[in-house]
């Protein structure tokens, strides 16, 4: 897999679970793209390098830090251990998950969820950390949650940060079957009202919505993706909608990523790479190995994502071979 510097129990467990898979074709990464139990992958391109920031898929009490992975070509991956550690987040105790990464003014911002709060009486929610480099080390930015309460029924988890063409930074987030959008302050230290005075606007696209929102813009349209089903089970999947504004309204079009009983189950919680030089799109997601019923045994994979002539996303075929190399530099 062109992968180096990966040792430890997670590696051994993942290698054991994938030992029966055939080697990928030459020039392909293979799926999963790197060993270890990793979920909720965030995909980003920084400095002509592909980056994936996943959740370390363990029991909640053991989710106390994040690793990152970088690649020049989608095939050869390098692990960067402990880019954000719970010791550098004074208010976090457990359940660090679902990163979102952006670069602004030479700084790198790492949004994350912590503590899996079940009510407004608990400390936790969505936080933000900052670093000078994509590989960190990241440090907590504001010393408290950025969003630490329920609004419109949305659990404050699974945030995604979207930079619109007009310069506005939005964050879309929410579990418990509700999705909100907020406008971030320019320094990412809080949220501020939108033009109509709304701070927390619900944009839940469909009753099937569960969690894991994502937004991108293509040809003037706003694409909203999310996960449906239960994350521990085989039916976890990804659906999407298209709107004319980041604020919606969004109407569900359908599923585009789901299990294949011959390949893997529980394919969900995605992000995307868009490679501008050739206008190629990739979907990055996690899935469960066949026959494995441990909900935390999730692995990160990548597939091509294509659009039809009308701009709709075509159903994604999940594979074991993965994608070919696509270097970002000449």
- Output the six-digit token pair for 32: 């999963």
Environment class of residue 171 by beta-carbon count within 10 Å: exposed (0-12), middle (13-18) or buried (19+)?
A: buried
Residue that is written with structure tokens 């950025």 in the block = 146
Report how far apart the first and last C-alpha atoms of the chain are (Å, whole number): 22
- Output the six-digit token pair for 127: 């936080």
The dihedral sign for the CA sequence 109, 112, 114, 120: positive
Contact (Cβ atoms closer than 8 angstroms) between residue 257 and residue 241:
no
Q: Establish whether 40 is a catalytic residue.
A: yes
Phi, psi of 11 (to 5 degrees): -65, -50
- List the one residue out of 204, 247, 238, 236 whose CA is nearest residue 313: 238
Residue that is written with structure tokens 């969505």 in the block = 126
- List the one residue out of 19, 23, 1 whose CA is nearest residue 69: 1
Whole-angstrom Cα Rg for the chain: 18
Q: Which of 40, 67, 135, 303 is catalytic?
A: 40
Q: Establish whether 103 is a catalytic residue.
A: no
Beta-strand ranges (E) seen in the chain are 38-46, 49-56, 65-71, 78-85, 97-104, 107-114, 125-131, 139-140, 160-163, 169-173, 180-184, 191-192, 201-202, 211-218, 221-228, 237-243, 251-257, 264-275, 280-289, 299-304
Contact (Cβ atoms closer than 8 angstroms) between residue 186 and residue 212:
no
Residue that is written with structure tokens 């349209």 in the block = 221
Q: Which of 158, 211, 228, 258 is catalytic?
A: 211
Q: In angstroms, what CA-CA distances link 309 with 83, 104, 188, 275, 312?
A: 40, 33, 37, 19, 7
| C-alpha span between 109 and 162 (Å, rounded) | 12
Q: What residues act catalytically?
A: 40, 211
């Amino acid at each position: 897999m062109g992968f180096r510097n990966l040792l430890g129990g997670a590696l051994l467990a993942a290698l054991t679970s994938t030992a029966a898979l055939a080697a990928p074709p030459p020039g392909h990464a293979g799926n999963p793209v790197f060993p270890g139990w990793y979920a909720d992958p965030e995909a980003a391109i920084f400095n002509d390098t592909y980056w994936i920031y996943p959740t370390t898929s363990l029991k909640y009490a053991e989710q106390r830090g994040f690793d990152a992975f970088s690649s020049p070509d989608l095939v050869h991956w390098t692990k960067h251990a402990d880019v954000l550690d719970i010791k550098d987040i004074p208010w976090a105790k457990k359940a660090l998950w679902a990163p979102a990464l952006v670069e602004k003014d030479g700084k790198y911002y790492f949004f994350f969820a912590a503590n899996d709060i079940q009510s407004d009486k608990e400390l936790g929610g969505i936080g933000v950390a900052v670093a000078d480099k994509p590989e960190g080390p990241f440090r907590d930015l504001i010393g408290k949650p950025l969003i630490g309460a329920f609004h419109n029924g949305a659990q404050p988890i699974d945030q995604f940060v979207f930079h619109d063409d007009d310069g506005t930074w939005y964050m879309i987030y929410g579990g418990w079957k509700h999705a909100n959008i907020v406008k971030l302050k320019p320094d990412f230290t809080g949220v501020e009202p939108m033009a109509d005075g709304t701070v927390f606007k619900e944009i839940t696209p469909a009753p099937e919505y569960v969690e894991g929102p994502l937004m991108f813009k293509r040809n003037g349209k706003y694409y909203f993706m999310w996960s449906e089903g239960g994350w521990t089970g085989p039916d976890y999947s990804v659906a999407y909608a298209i709107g004319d504004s980041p604020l919606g309204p969004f109407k569900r079009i359908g599923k585009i990523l789901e299990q294949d009983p011959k390949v893997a189950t529980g394919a969900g919680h995605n992000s995307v790479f868009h490679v501008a030089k050739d206008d190629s799109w990739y979907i990055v997601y996690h899935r469960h190995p066949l026959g494995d019923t441990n909900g935390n045994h999730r692995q990160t994979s990548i597939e091509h994502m294509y659009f039809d002539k009308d701009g709709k996303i075509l159903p994604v075929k999940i594979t074991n071979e993965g994608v070919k190399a696509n270097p970002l530099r000449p």
